Amino acid sequence: MFIQTSESGETDVQAQAIELQANALLKFSMLAKQEILQGRGMSVKEARQILRDARK
């Protein structure tokens, strides 16, 4: 039988959360790179305008 302390369990949960965030960031950057290579990238000015329009 394996008994895990609550402190150790919390550490495991935190490590899993950090790993999930790192994986999500990696996936996001790879998708962004793919879009840029496909010519679907946009300038900062264009991105800001899209965000402004979405707020209206």
In a domain, 42, yes or no: yes
User: Is pLDDT larger for residue 2 or for residue 29?
Assistant: 29
Quote the domain boundaries for residue 46: 21-55
Q: Is 10 inside any structural domain?
A: no
* Model confidence pLDDT, tens digit, residues 28-44: 999 999 999 999 989 99
Per the domain annotation, does 15 fall within a domain? Answer: no
Domain tally for the chain?
1
Confidence of residue 46 (pLDDT cuts 50, 70, 90): very high
Per the prediction, the chain carries an average pLDDT of 90
In this prediction the pTM is 0.59
Task: Determine, yes or no, domain membership for 16.
Answer: no
Residue 14 DSSP class: H
pLDDT at residue 17, rounded to an integer: 95
The answer to whether position 28 is within a domain reads yes
The answer to whether residue 6 is domain-embedded is no
Would residue 38 count as lying in a domain?
A: yes
Q: Is 40 exposed, middle or buried (0-12, 13-18, 19+ CB in 10 A)?
A: exposed
